[in-house]
Amino acid sequence: IKCRDLIGEARSIEYRGIYEGGYVMETQKIVGQTASAGFQIGVRRTLNISQKQAWERLISPQGMKLWLGECPDLIWAKGTDFRTAEGLTGQLRVVKPQEQLRLTCQPAHWAEASTLQIRLLPAASPGRTTVSFHQEKLELPSCSITATWRAGPSVIAYSTA
């Protein structure tokens, strides 16, 4: 079975048979579903910018609007709690300049926070950086989140710091 997300990529649903009381029961596992932590999504893109440039664009007010929301007073330090103008709350868990951000994210309408990790990895070619977005502990697979993260690394390449 296939379903389509917002940008048209097909996702497969895996069916497994389970023997129960003499009958084979059909269960489904959706791509991105983990054994114990709900759902996860991730995307990577290699860009023609340095890690320093990627970091500067990622944490600039213009860059933040694209992946986090408006939060002009955010201090980039481990343990900092934040609330965006759009109502997203969270806490910075790991802040390694030019390398990694790990934070909790909870929109107002979610029951639990998810964990978002952004990594800036040196690419094989000089002056290039692989930008990786990974979000876990999601209650349901979300096409809108997937589309946002697929766009995220690319918009960092074009945003101005």
HEC profile for the chain?
Answer: CEEECCCCCEEEEEEEEEEECCEEEEEEEECCECCCCCEEEEEEEEECCCHHHHHHHHHCHHHHHHHCCCCCCCCCCCCCEEECCCCCEEEEEEEECCCEEEEEEECCCCCCCEEEEEEEEECCCCCCEEEEEEEEEECCCCHHHHHHHHHHHHHHHHCCC
> Does the pTM of the predicted model rise above 0.85?
no
Rounded Cα–Cα distance for residues 66 and 39 (Å): 22
Taking 50 as the threshold, does the pLDDT of residue 133 lie above it? yes
Taking 90 as the threshold, does the pLDDT of residue 83 lie above it? yes
| Res 12: pLDDT | 37
Residues paired with 91 in a beta bridge? 81
Indicate the pLDDT class of residue 30, thresholds 50, 70 and 90: low
Both structure tokens of 64: 């933040």
Residue with tokens 């951000």: 101
Residues 39-81: tens digit of each pLDDT: 777 788 899 999 999 999 999 998 888 888 899 899 999 999 9
Rounded Cα–Cα distance for residues 1 and 15 (Å): 9
Burial 118-147 (b: 16+ CB within 10 A, else e): bbbeeeeeeebbbbbbbbbbbeebbbebbb
Residues 92-102: tens digit of each pLDDT: 999 999 999 99
